[in-house]
Chains A and B, each alone.
Chain A
Amino acid sequence: MSSAPVLQLAGVHKTFGQTAIIRGVDLDLVAGERHALIGPNGAGKSTLFNLISGRLHATAGTIRLRGADITRATPQAINRMGLARSFQVTNLFHRMTVFENLRCGALRSRGGGYAFWRRVDGVAEANARADEVLDAIGLARRREATAGELTYAEQRALEIGVTIACGADVILLDEPTAGMSRSESAAAVALIRKVTAGKTLVMVEHDMDVVFGLADRVSVLVYGEVIATGAPDAIHANARVQEAYLGTGLAQAGAAETAHA
C-alpha cells in the first residue's frame, strides 16, 4: 500500500469545553479500501466523522482530502470535493418523496446548481442518477412515498442512497446497520458492498460479523485515540486491542448481539 492517501488525518484533536473527545488521531486511508472504525460507545467515532465531513472543526491537527486541506472547510465544500457521509440517526428530507430525496442528493454534482431558470426534470443526469440509485437501494416500489412514511429499514437504505447519490468517491457511513434485524443487516451489507465498489469507504460498525466480513482494514478508537490499525485478523490478534476492547467490550458486544438475535 504505497499510493498516496486519499484521506489523511494528522494529530487531530477535538475538545468540547474542557473535555477532550478526540485526542490526537492519525489515520491514512488508501484509495479503494474499505475501512472499519470500531470502538466502544462514546469513543468519539461519530465526532471523528463530524470533523472529517466539516460538521465540526478540529481544535488542532489537519485533515487532508487528496492532499487538499479541509480542516476548516464547510460541509458543502467538502461534499463537492467528493466526500459524502451518512448519519447514525436518520437525517432525510422527510416531507419529500424518496425520489426527490435521491435527486437532491445527486443535483449538485450533476449540474443542477442553484438554477431557477431551468426545470429540474430537465437536469437529465441528476434524474438518471436518482433512478439508478433508487434501483440500487431497492426502493423502486416506494419511489413516490414520502421519506417520513418509510419503515425504519427503508429509511436506513435511503440514508445510504442520499449519501452515495452525488457519486462521491470517499464515503463515510455511520452505523448503517444499527437497529436492524439479522436479515435486514445482511441485506444492508450486500447493498453497501455493491454501491461502494471501487470507492473508498470508512464505516463505523458495532456488528463484528459485518466488520470482519466487509473491511479490508480496521481501526480501533478508544477514548479518542486510535490504539490500533490493521487487517481484521491482525486486529483480532492484537494484544492491546484485546485488552482494551476485545477482551471486555467486544465479548460483551458479541454476547449482546447474540442475545439480541
Chain B
Amino acid sequence: MKGRPHLVAALPALACLVALPFVFPQGFALSLMCQMGIATIFALSYNMLLGQTGLLSFGHAVYFGLGAFCAMHVLRWAGGSGGGGAWVVIALPLVGGLGGLIAGIVLGAITTRRAGTIFAMISLGVGEMVASVAPMFPALFGGEAGLNANRVFGAPLFGITFGPQRQVYYLIVAWALLAAWGMHALTRTPLGRMANAARDNPERAQFVGYHPQMVRFLMLALSGFFAGIAGGLSAINYEIVTGESLGAHTSALVLLMAFIGGIGQFYGPIIGAVLVTFLQTALSQYTHAWLFYFGLFFLFMVLEAPGGIASLVQLHREPWRQGLLRWVWPQYALAALPVALTLAGLIGVVELVYRVAGGVEAGETSWKLFGNAIDATRWQPWALALLLFAGGGAWLRRAWSGVAWQWKMVLLATARGKDR
C-alpha cells in the first residue's frame, strides 16, 4: 500500500525523461539536459551536508573535481589500451564516485572535526588549497588546458558507442536516478537520521550515545562519493576536465543550486540544479547582464523565500489537498500582469545601463527588440523603462496585498481543516 503512490508518480516521470530527447532533439537542448542531470546529482550530494547534516561547505567542488579527474584518467587509460569500450564508460561514474569517496575520507577527517562556522572556514581553506595545488601537478591535472579524452573507443555494445549525445543523456539519466534513489534511501537509515539529529543539536546527540564528529565524517565521505559520480559523468559528457571543476566557482554554484531549490526538502536541490543550469546557459545566450540577473534572483530568494522554491511548494501542498487554493488562483492571476510589467521595466533599465556603460562592445548602444531599434543614448527608452518599473511596481504592491490577505484566509482555513 505504502509504496504505491510513489510508483504511480514515478512511471510518468520516467516516461518523460525517456521522451525528452525526442521532444527537444536540438543539440543545444540535449546538452543542456545532460548538464542538468549532472548538476542534479551534484546538488543533491551537496544537500547531504547543508540540509541534512547542517554543514555549510564552501569547497564541495573538490569532490566533484577529483572524481572527474579520476574518471578521466581511467578513460584515457582504457581508450589507450582500446579495451572495454562502452562498458568502461557505463561504469566510469563509479570510478568518479570512488575518487570522491577517497577524497572525502582523507579530507573529511580534517574538515569534520568541527561544525558550524569553523567547518565552513575549513572547507573553504581546503577547497582553495586543492584548487591551487592542482596546477602544480600537470601530469595529474593537465595544467592550464586540463585533461581530455575520447569517450568513443573499442567495440560498440548493442550498437551503443556513446558517440551520440543522446546516448550520453540516457547514461546520465540512469546514473542520476540511481544516485538520487541512493541518497534518498540514505536519509532513511540510522546514519541519515542521526545526521539530522547532529544538525539540530550536536550536543544532545552525544548524550544519546553518538559521536557527532563521526556522523559528520561519514556523511561527508558519502556525499563525496555522490559528488564524485557527478564528476565522473561530467568527464564523460564534456570529454575534458579542467582545474576549474575543483575551484571556488563550482563550489559556489552548487551552493546556489541547493539554496535556491531549497535545502529543507529532499527534492529542493533538484529544482535548484535544473533552474540554475537553465539560467546559466540559456540566459547567457540572450544577455550579457545574465550574471546580474542571476544575482538579483538569488538576492530575491534569500530575502523573500529563504526556504527556497521547495518551501513555496510545501506551502501550497496542504491547501491544495484541501482544495483551498482556488481562493488564491484569481489573486495570482491579478498579480501576474503587474509582475510582468515591473520585470519588463527592470530588465529595460538594466539593459540600457549595460549599453551606455559599455557593458557590450564599445560604441554599440542600440539594439533591436521585436523589430524596433532601441537607442540607449536617447531619453525615450529610459523614460519608458522607468515608467514601467515604477508604475508596475506600484500596481504590484496593491495586487500583492490582495494575495497576502487571501493567503491569510487560506492558512486559517487550512489549519481548521487539519484539526478536523
A residues whose Cβ falls under 8 Å from a Cβ of B: 53-55, 74-76, 79-80, 84-85, 87, 91-96, 100, 103-105, 107-109, 112-121, 123, 162-163, 165-166
A100 to B185, CA, bound (A): 17
A95 to B53, CA, bound (A): 12
Q: Are A104 and B208 in contact (CB under 8 A)?
A: yes
Chain B residues 348 to 404 lying within 8 A of chain A, measured CB to CB, are none
Tell me whether chain A's interface is mostly helix, strand or loop, or mixed. loop
Question: Provided the pairs A93-B200, A96-B197, A104-B197 are in contact, do residues A116 and B210 lie with their beta carbons within 8 angstroms?
Answer: no
B residues whose Cβ falls under 8 Å from a Cβ of A: 185-186, 188-194, 196-197, 199-201, 203-211, 214-215, 218, 222
Q: Are B191 and A95 in contact (CB under 8 A)?
A: no
Among candidates B204, B214, B218, B222, residue contacting A93 with C-beta atoms closer than 8 Å: B204
List chain A residues, Cβ under 8 A from B203: 55, 91
List chain A residues, Cβ under 8 A from B197: 93, 96, 100, 104
List chain A residues, Cβ under 8 A from B209: 76, 79-80, 107-109, 166
Q: Tell me the minimal C-beta distance from A80 to chain B in angstroms.
A: 5
If A95-B199, A105-B208, A112-B194 are given as contacts, then 15 extra A-B residue pairs at C-beta distance below 8 Å, sorted by A number, are A76-B210, A76-B211, A84-B208, A95-B196, A104-B194, A104-B197, A107-B210, A108-B209, A114-B191, A114-B218, A116-B186, A116-B190, A118-B190, A119-B185, A166-B208
Q: Are B215 and A120 in contact (CB under 8 A)?
A: no
A222 to B377, CA, bound (A): 83
Q: Are A75 and B207 in contact (CB under 8 A)?
A: yes
Q: Tell me the minimal C-beta distance from A85 to chain B in angstroms.
A: 6
Closest residue of chain B to A91 (Cβ to Cβ) is: B204
List chain A residues, Cβ under 8 A from B188: 119-121
Q: Are B186 and A96 in contact (CB under 8 A)?
A: no
Q: Are A116 and B192 in contact (CB under 8 A)?
A: yes
Q: Are A120 and B189 in contact (CB under 8 A)?
A: yes
Q: Tell me the minimal C-beta distance from A125 to chain B in angstroms.
A: 12
Question: Provided the pairs A93-B201, A95-B196 are in contact, do residues A114 and B190 lie with their beta carbons within 8 angstroms?
Answer: yes
List chain B residues, Cβ under 8 A from A163: 207
A84 to B206, CA, bound (A): 10
Q: Tell me the minimal C-beta distance from B211 to chain A in angstroms.
A: 5
Closest residue of chain A to B211 (Cβ to Cβ) is: A76
Which 8 residue pairs are nearest across A and B when measured between Cβ atoms? A108-B209, A112-B190, A116-B191, A75-B206, A93-B200, A79-B209, A104-B197, A115-B190
Question: Provided the pairs A93-B196, A94-B201 are in contact, do residues A108 and B191 lie with their beta carbons within 8 angstroms?
Answer: no
A142 to B123, CA, bound (A): 39
List chain A residues, Cβ under 8 A from B206: 54, 74-76, 79
Closest residue of chain A to B217 (Cβ to Cβ) is: A114
Q: Are B193 and A104 in contact (CB under 8 A)?
A: yes
List chain A residues, Cβ under 8 A from B194: 104, 107, 112, 114
A53 to B209, CA, bound (A): 11
A52 to B210, CA, bound (A): 17
Q: Are A107 and B201 in contact (CB under 8 A)?
A: no
Q: Are A113 and B190 in contact (CB under 8 A)?
A: yes
A92 to B200, CA, bound (A): 8
List chain A residues, Cβ under 8 A from B185: 119
Among candidates B193, B205, B222, residue contacting A103 with C-beta atoms closer than 8 Å: B193
Q: Tell me the minimal C-beta distance from A72 to chain B in angstroms.
A: 15
List chain A residues, Cβ under 8 A from B218: 114, 116
A166 to B206, CA, bound (A): 12
Closest residue of chain B to A147 (Cβ to Cβ) is: B200
Q: Are B191 and A115 in contact (CB under 8 A)?
A: yes
Q: Are A117 and B189 in contact (CB under 8 A)?
A: yes
A-B contact pairs, 14 of them (CB 8 A): A54-B206, A76-B207, A79-B209, A84-B207, A84-B208, A91-B207, A95-B199, A96-B200, A104-B193, A109-B209, A114-B191, A116-B186, A116-B190, A121-B188
List chain A residues, Cβ under 8 A from B199: 95
List chain B residues, Cβ under 8 A from A93: 196-197, 200-201, 204-205
A34 to B205, CA, bound (A): 26
Question: Provided the pairs A103-B193, A116-B186, A120-B188 are in contact, do residues A108 and B210 lie with their beta carbons within 8 angstroms?
Answer: yes
Q: Are A92 and B208 in contact (CB under 8 A)?
A: no
Closest residue of chain A to B196 (Cβ to Cβ) is: A96
Q: Tell me the minimal C-beta distance from B190 to chain A in angstroms.
A: 4
Q: Are B193 and A107 in contact (CB under 8 A)?
A: yes
List chain B residues, Cβ under 8 A from A114: 190-191, 194, 210, 214-215, 218
List chain A residues, Cβ under 8 A from B210: 76, 107-108, 114
Q: Are B208 and A108 in contact (CB under 8 A)?
A: yes
Q: Tell me the minimal C-beta distance from B222 to chain A in angstroms.
A: 7
Q: Are A107 and B204 in contact (CB under 8 A)?
A: no
List chain B residues, Cβ under 8 A from A109: 209
List chain B residues, Cβ under 8 A from A105: 208
List chain A residues, Cβ under 8 A from B196: 93, 95-96, 100
Among A76, A92, A100, A112, residue most surrounded by chain B Cβ atoms (within 10 Å): A76
